[in-house]
Amino acid sequence: MLTATSTTRVVTIALNADQRSEVKVGDKVTVTLPNNDTTPGIVTSVGTVATTPAGGGSPTITVQVTPSDPAATGRWDQTPVSVTITTASVANALVVPVNALLAQANGSYAVEVAGANGTRHLVSVSLGLFDDAAGLVQVTKTSLVVGEHVVVPNL
C-alpha cells in the first residue's frame, strides 16, 4: 500500500454552515499568517456536507483556499492562520463606521453629522455592503458627502 501527499499549499477553513451561501469558488481572500504577514488567495472548493465538531458547537463545512503566491507562506506548515473572504465589493463606495449608524423608529437608519460650527444633524442613509473585518458599511441614497464628519460613540 502506498500513501502520497501533495506539496501544494492549501488553507482549510471550517466555515459555519449557515454562511455557506455567502462563499463561492473564485472568491478572493486574504490569508494572515502567524507573523501578521498577509498574502492573497482564492477559494478553490466549498464543501456541501456539514459536520458538527466533536466537542459540539455549530455545524461547519470545509472550504479550501489556495494562496496566490505559495512562496509567501514561507515554511509554515499546519499552522493556524486567519482568513478574510471577500464575497462582494463596490468601487468608490461611500462608507461610514458601523457604530455610527442610528436605528430610526420607522426601521430606517441615519448618521449624525458634526458641522464645522459645532452643530449636529441627522442624515438618512440606506445600507449597502458591510465590511465586517474593517467595521465599515457602505451608505447609499443619502445626502451625506465625502469629507463630512460623522459622530461615533466613544466606547
Domain 11-86 has CATH 2.40.30.170: yes
How far is residue 100 from each of residues 55, 114, 118, measured CA to CA in Å? 38, 12, 17
Domain boundaries, the chain: 11-86, 95-150
pTM beyond 0.85, yes or no? no
Tens place of pLDDT for every residue, the chain, 155 residues? Answer: 666 666 788 999 999 999 999 899 999 999 999 999 999 999 999 999 999 988 888 999 999 999 998 888 888 888 899 999 888 888 888 999 999 999 999 999 999 999 888 899 999 999 999 988 889 999 998 899 888 999 998 86
What confidence score (pLDDT) does residue 106 get? 94
